[in-house]
């Protein structure tokens, strides 16, 4: 009786690849049907898109081996039967897509700014970064350095923002909008919940007014009407005016998102902080906000992604962001008709940024274990 | 909206009335010129980021007239909605943004159109397989038409006048019109002729499409400046006229140096050898010579940007000189 009985293996159908397939893809007949349908669609679509984007596509040379300098030299225009995407337009125009009309001899300034942006983001994204404190200090001064580097000053020649364009404008608008809107949004959210009627009224008025009008209206206001109200001689830069409009817009939305988080914090937390003799600011910054912001991460990222994509609206006020450069390229008689390639490229760039943002927020949520049972663990 | 705009214009004028635009431009060291965010043949950035096109040439011509240097210009991109406020607020010195000259824009908005650098008009594009050579043969055709535009009204007028019927397929944007026509959902696409030409050039096989000869509306496109600064208006007006007169006189960027020794009095006046026209405009004596040398005459600019040898293939048509069957006409240079 002391003989040990070998433990039996679980049924084949519940483990390994087969088990995974059964549970996830063929669980019941509706599930199976959907799986088969999706596989069929992928079978139809994926080879075609791969062929168009990669295998039959021109990157720099057409199928005759010539370097492509205009749309007539694209393989698909030379021989409509074969030939896929003509990426040469992106290759030729890559500089404009990334830097706009920034002078070539000064472009190192943009490159350094891009690298510095990445370094400045590191301590925000990775909490276990060695020497994080030092990096964080750099993050705080980065906007000032980047401003002078890109715009000019301290011996660097001035580059008018008129010459900025493409990804540069998209990133400047997106990053500045998100970075500035967050603290303003926090203050507005606190203000709206304030017991002082003047402050709460002002915050409510501001938030509701901004939320009540579309971003385009604000952009127009910043671009068209603001210069008429400013006294003569004060010439506000076009990009700055748009930045102001974008930041105001984003901060109103951010305020409401954070207010949502604040409302989820139980009154006990406030009372506990108060009973320890904490001041209003100390209570908010050390007890309430850390919890409120933690549960607000998904909507914060959501509005940030929304803003990043909304920056394409600036073409309406005449700024050429990434999409604007794409449209400008389409208007060049050399590249007429390559709209699929250009819009594909622009959406790909936007996808990389927004997908990165959403994955990062997922990672944050997992790390911070945001959920209803906060405080219980 | 228009009333609001004219109020802005007045306010802006009150602010900017201190000195002439010409002095402002000279002090600044470069011209600020409003162009489109990109329109084939008129203004679009080329591969090296330089703005090129008929309107861009217009801006450069004014920069050359003032500074003698075609690079002394900053292009400010404007959209159909932002162009007028941008000019009214003084953010640009002039607009060359394929803008149609109409009475309300000239008078009510407080702008001054200084001339016409392209005569456009509504036209029709059809598949060449349809075998139609005139728009009057389009009885019963399905027409792709942008809703809520003047083109819609012009179309209805044209078909009623000719006693033929059509079926409208309403669309919102130019791209939509293009896709519908190429997919065969409509037989005819109608919009401004220059727009039709760029749509045609964007087709995978442009020879399969033809633009019919009929032009059914007037769309004179020209550069404009703010009302009330006549000195500056004159500079822009005569920069354009100099290019047109140069074509009339056969002066091109290539032969302009040889023409300095011409025996035609008007050529000598134009090139600043005789007379003091530059002084009258407060410009250098050789301002027109420099425009022709650095930009070319009207014909050269036209041929390089929109003419038959470009993908747009727009024939001179109305834009030919008055002596060659067109209506392009500049007052005499004396």
Enter the tokens of residue A209.
């007014």
Higher-scoring residue by pLDDT: A187, A8: A187
| Residue B25 buriedness (CB in 10 A; 0-12 / 13-18 / 19+) | buried
Of residues A220, A320, A332, nearest to B77 (C-beta): A320
Q: Does B86 touch chain A (CB under 8 A)?
A: yes
**What three-state secondary structure class fits A338?**
coil
Residue B149 and residue B75 in one domain: no
* B76·A162 Cβ contact <8 A: yes
pLDDT, tens digit, 9 for 90 and up, residues B209-235 = 888 888 888 889 999 999 989 999 999
Domain membership flag for residue A205: yes
Q: Which of B46, B82, B202 sits opposite A223 (nearest CB)?
A: B82
Q: Please state, in angstroms and rounded to a whole number, the distance separating the CA atoms of residues B96 and B237.
A: 12
- pLDDT on residue A222: 83
Question: Where in the sequence is the domain holding B38, given as residue range(s)?
Answer: 2-119+219-314
Inter-chain CB proximity A318 and B85 less than 8 Å? no
Q: What is the pLDDT of residue A257?
A: 94
State pLDDT tens for residues B176-194: 888 889 888 999 999 888 8
Of B38, B81, B82, the CB nearest to A330: B38
Residue A202: what pLDDT? 94
When mean pLDDT is compared across B202-211, B307-316, B325-334, the lowest value belongs to B202-211
What's the pLDDT at B293?
A: 95
Residues A61, A97 share a domain: no
Compute the distance between CA of residue B199 and CA of residue B302 in angstroms, rounded to an integer: 18
Neighbour-count burial for A213-226, b at 16+ CB within 10 Å, e otherwise: eebeebbbbbbbeb
Q: How would residue A132 be classed by pLDDT, with cut points 50, 70 and 90? A: confident
Beta carbons of B217 and B80 less than 8 angstroms apart? no
What band does A28 get if pLDDT is binned at 50, 70 and 90? confident
Domain C-terminal end among B157, B182, B211 = B211
pLDDT band at B54; cut points 50, 70, 90: very high
Strand, helix or coil for residue A265: coil
- Give the residue from B163, B178, B211 where a domain finishes: B211
Alpha-carbon gap: A329 to the closest alpha carbon of chain B (Å)? 7
The pLDDT of residue B16: 47
A290 and A312 in a single domain? The answer is yes
Range of the domain at A48: 12-78
Q: Are A329 and A166 in contact (CB under 8 A)?
A: no
The partner residue sitting opposite B311, judged by closest CB among A228, A238, A336, is: A336
Interface check for B181 against chain A (CB to CB < 8 A): the answer is no
Flag whether residue B12 sits within 8 Å of chain A, measured between CB atoms: yes
Burial B169-201 (b: 16+ CB within 10 A, else e): bebeebeebbebbbeeebbbbbbbbbbbbbbbb
Claim to verify: residue A187 and residue A314 sit in the same structural domain: yes
Distance from CA of A53 to the nearest CA of B (A): 18
Of A43-57, B15-29, B205-219, B234-248, which gets the smallest average pLDDT?
A: B15-29
Measure in Å the smallest separation between the Cα of A231 and chain B Cα atoms: 8
Distance from CA of A304 to the nearest CA of B (A): 26
**Residue B325 falls within a domain, yes or no?**
no
Strand partners, B119: B220
Partners of residue A330 in chain B, C-beta under 8 Å: 38
CA–CA gap between residue B41 and residue B118 (Å, rounded): 11
Sheet with B188-192, edge to edge strand ranges: B166-171, B141-146, B188-192, B122-127, B209-211
Are B45 and B167 in the same domain?
A: no
From residue B147, how far is each of B6, B158, B161, B177 by CA, in Å? 27, 16, 21, 11
Contact A238, B86 (CB under 8 A): no
Judged by a CB distance cut-off of 8 A, whether residue B198 touches chain A is yes
Q: Are residues B132 and B275 in the same domain?
A: no
Note whether A72 and A94 are same-domain residues. Answer: no
Nearest CA distance, A67 vs chain B (angstrom): 14
Residues 6+ apart with CB under 8 A from B87: B34, B94, B95, B111, B224, B225, B226
Q: How many CA within 13 A on the CB side of residue A307? A: 31
User: For all residues of chain A together, what is the average pLDDT?
Assistant: 87
pLDDT (mean) for A221-233: 74
Domain-located, residue A111:
no
Tens digit of each residue's pLDDT (9 = 90 or more) over B76-131: 988 877 888 889 888 899 999 988 898 888 898 889 999 999 999 999 999 998 88
What's the domain count of chain B? 2
Q: Is B81 on the interface with A (CB under 8 A)?
A: yes
pLDDT at B5: 53
**Contact status, residue A71 vs residue A338, Cβ threshold 8 Å:** yes
What pLDDT is attached to residue B17? 47
- Check CB contact under 8 Å for A319 and B49: no
Of B37, B305, B312, the CB nearest to A318: B37
Q: Rounded distance, CA B240 to CA B254, Å?
A: 19
Q: Is residue B190 part of a domain?
A: yes
Q: What confidence tier does A213 reach under pLDDT thresholds 50, 70, 90?
A: very high
pLDDT at A376: 41
* CATH number of the domain enclosing B156: 3.40.190.10
Interface check B76 vs A, CB under 8 A: yes
Contact residues, chain A, for B98 at CB < 8 Å: none
- Minimum CA–CA partner of B203 in chain A: A337
Q: Is residue B333 part of a domain?
A: no
B77 to A319: CB separation less than 8 angstroms, yes or no: yes
B302 and B181 fall within a common domain: no
Pairing state between β B73-77 and B94-100: unpaired
Residues A39 and A97 in one domain: no
Nearest to B138 by CA among B170, B168, B180: B168
Tell whether B179 and B232 lie within a shared domain. no
Contact A261, A295 (CB under 8 A): yes
Please check whether residues A198 and A222 belong to one and the same domain: yes
| Chain A residue with the nearest C-alpha to that of B310 | A333
Question: How far apart are the CA of B179 and the nearest CA of chain A, in angstroms?
Answer: 11
Contacts by A214-222, CB closer than 8 A, 24 or more apart: A215/A245, A215/A246, A215/A249, A215/A310, A215/A313, A216/A313, A216/A316, A218/A245, A218/A246, A218/A248, A218/A249, A219/A245, A219/A246, A219/A313, A219/A314, A219/A316, A219/A317, A220/A316, A220/A317, A220/B81, A220/B82, A221/A245, A222/A317
B160 and B257 share a domain? no
Asked whether residue B175 falls in the same domain as residue B84, the answer is: no
Per-residue pLDDT band for A233 (boundaries 50, 70, 90) equals low
pLDDT tens digits along B264-275: 999 999 999 998
CA distance A274 to A291: 16
What average pLDDT does this structure show over B59-65?
96
Asked if A110 contacts A82 with a C-beta cutoff of 8 angstroms, the reply is no
* One domain, residues A50 and A96: no
Compute the mean pLDDT over every residue in chain B, rounded to the nearest whole number. Answer: 88
Q: Please, are residues B93 and B33 in contact by the beta-carbon 8 Å criterion?
A: yes
| B326 within some domain | no
Say if residue B80 is in the same domain as residue B131: no
Chain A residue numbers touching B85 (CB-CB < 8 A) = 223-225
Q: 3-class DSSP state for residue B125?
A: strand
Average pLDDT of B3-32?
Answer: 69
Ranked by mean pLDDT, the top range of A169-173, A220-224, A371-375 is: A169-173
Give a yes or no: residue A141 inside a domain.
no
Please indicate, yes or no, whether residues A65 and A166 belong to a single structural domain of this protein.
Answer: no
In a domain, B334, yes or no: no
Residue B321 lies in a domain: no
B239 or A72: which carries more pLDDT confidence? Answer: B239
- Going by the DSSP 8-state scheme, the letter that residue A252 receives in this structure is H
State yes or no: ipTM above 0.90: no
Token pair listed for B12:
């802006």
Whether A71 maps to a domain, the answer reads yes
Residue A149 lies in a domain: no
Sign of the torsion angle spanned by Cα atoms B242, B244, B245, B247: positive
**Boundary (domain end) residue, out of B211, B231, B265:** B211
Mean pLDDT over A151-166 rounds to: 84
Shared-domain flag, residues B72 and B170: no
Name which of A220, A332, A337 is nearest B46 (Cβ-Cβ): A332
**Among A37-51, A79-93, B14-28, B286-300, which stretch is predicted with the lowest mean pLDDT?**
B14-28
- Domain assignment of residue A377, yes or no: no
Is A170 in the same domain as A27? Answer: no
Residue B29 placed within a domain? yes
Percent of chain A with pLDDT over 90: 45
Residue A275 belongs to some domain of the structure:
yes
Residue A126, pLDDT > 90, answer no
My answer on whether B207 and B224 are in the same domain is no
Do residue B111 and residue B10 come from a single domain? Answer: yes
B78 vs chain A: nearest CA distance in angstroms? Answer: 4
CA Rg value for chain A: 27
Flag if A332 and B40 touch (Cβ within 8 Å).
yes
pTM over 0.80: yes
Q: Is B201 on the interface with A (CB under 8 A)?
A: yes
Tell whether B46 is within 8 A of chain A (Cβ). yes
- A·B CB contacts under 8 A: 111
Structural domains of chain A, count:
2
Question: Do the beta carbons of residue B97 and residue B83 sit within 8 Å?
Answer: yes
> Is the domain of A44 the same as that of A97?
no
B77 to chain A, any CB pair closer than 8 A? The answer is yes
B207 touches chain A (CB under 8 A): no
| Domain identity same for B165 and B234 | no
Q: Domain check: are A264 and A341 in the same one? A: yes
Question: Which tokens is B188 given?
Answer: 């005819």
Q: How confident is the model at residue A187 (pLDDT cuts 50, 70, 90)?
A: very high
In a domain, B330, yes or no: no
Note whether residue A58 is domain-resident: yes
A190 and A321 share one domain: yes
């Amino acid at each position: 009786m002391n003989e040990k009985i070998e433990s039996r293996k679980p049924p084949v159908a519940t483990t390994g690849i087969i088990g995974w397939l059964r549970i996830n893809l063929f669980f019941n007949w509706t599930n199976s049907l959907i799986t088969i349908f999706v596989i069929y669609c992928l079978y139809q679509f994926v080879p075609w898109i791969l062929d168009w984007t990669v295998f039959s596509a021109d990157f720099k040379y057409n199928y005759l081996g010539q370097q492509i300098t205009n749309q007539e030299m694209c393989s698909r225009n030379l021989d409509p039967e074969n030939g896929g995407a003509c990426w040469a337009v992106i290759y030729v125009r890559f500089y404009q897509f990334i830097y706009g009309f920034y002078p070539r001899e000064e472009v190192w300034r943009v490159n350094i700014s891009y690298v510095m942006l990445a370094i400045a983001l590191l301590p925000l994204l990775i909490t276990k970064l060695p020497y994080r404190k030092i990096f964080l200090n750099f993050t705080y001064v980065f906007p000032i350095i980047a401003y002078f580097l890109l715009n000019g000053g301290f011996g660097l020649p001035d580059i008018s923002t008129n010459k900025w364009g493409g990804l540069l404008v998209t990133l400047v608008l997106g990053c500045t909008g998100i970075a500035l809107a967050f603290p303003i949004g926090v203050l507005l959210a606190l203000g709206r919940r304030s017991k002082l009627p003047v402050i709460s009224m002002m915050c409510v008025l501001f938030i509701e007014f901004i939320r009540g009008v579309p971003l385009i209206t604000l952009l127009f206001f910043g671009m068209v009407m603001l210069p008429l109200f400013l006294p003569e001689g004060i010439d506000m830069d076009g990009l700055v005016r748009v930045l102001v409009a974008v930041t105001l817009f984003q901060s109103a939305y951010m305020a409401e998102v954070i207010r949502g988080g604040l409302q989820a914090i139980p009154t006990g937390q406030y009372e506990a902080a108060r009973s320890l003799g904490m001041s209003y600011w100390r209570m908010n910054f050390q007890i309430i906000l850390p919890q409120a912001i933690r549960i607000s991460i998904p909507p914060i990222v959501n509005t940030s992604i929304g803003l990043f994509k909304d920056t394409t609206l600036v073409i309406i006020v005449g700024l050429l962001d990434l999409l604007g450069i794409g449209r400008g390229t389409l208007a060049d008689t050399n590249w007429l008709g390559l709209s699929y390639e250009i819009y594909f490229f622009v959406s790909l760039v936007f996808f990389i940024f927004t997908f990165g943002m959403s994955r990062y927020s997922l990672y944050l949520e997992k790390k911070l274990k945001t959920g209803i049972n906060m405080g219980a663990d | 909206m228009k009333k609001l705009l004219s109020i802005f214009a007045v306010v802006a004028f009150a602010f900017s009335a201190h000195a002439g635009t010409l002095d402002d431009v000279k002090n600044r060291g470069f011209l600020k010129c409003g162009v489109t965010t990109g329109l084939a043949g008129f203004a679009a950035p080329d591969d090296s980021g330089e703005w090129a096109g008929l309107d861009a040439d217009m801006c450069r011509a004014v920069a050359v007239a003032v500074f003698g240097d075609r690079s002394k210009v900053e292009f400010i991109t404007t959209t159909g909605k932002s162009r007028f406020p941008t000019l009214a607020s003084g953010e640009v010195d002039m607009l060359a943004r394929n803008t149609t000259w109409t009475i309300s824009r000239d008078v009510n908005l407080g702008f001054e159109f200084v001339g016409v650098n392209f005569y456009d008009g509504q036209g029709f594009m059809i598949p060449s397989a349809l075998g139609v050579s005139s728009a009057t043969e389009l009885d019963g055709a399905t027409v792709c038409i942008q809703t809520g535009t003047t083109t819609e009204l012009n179309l209805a007028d044209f078909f009623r006048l000719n006693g033929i019927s059509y079926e409208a397929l309403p669309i919102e944007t130019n791209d939509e019109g293009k896709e519908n026509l190429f997919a065969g959902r409509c037989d005819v696409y109608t919009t401004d002729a220059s727009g039709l030409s760029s749509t045609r050039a964007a087709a995978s096989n442009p020879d399969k499409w033809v633009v019919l000869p009929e032009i059914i509306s007037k769309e004179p496109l020209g550069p404009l400046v703010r009302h009330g600064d006549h000195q500056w208006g004159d500079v822009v007006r005569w920069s354009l006229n100099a290019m047109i007169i140069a074509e009339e006189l056969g002066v091109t960027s290539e032969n302009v140096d040889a023409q300095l020794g011409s025996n035609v009095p008007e050529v000598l006046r134009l090139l600043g050898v005789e007379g003091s026209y530059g002084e009258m405009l407060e410009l250098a004596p050789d301002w027109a010579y420099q425009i022709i040398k650095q930009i070319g005459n009207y014909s050269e600019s036209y041929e390089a940007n929109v003419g038959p040898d470009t993908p747009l293939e727009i024939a001179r048509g109305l834009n030919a000189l008055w002596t060659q069957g067109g209506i392009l006409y500049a007052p005499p240079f004396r």
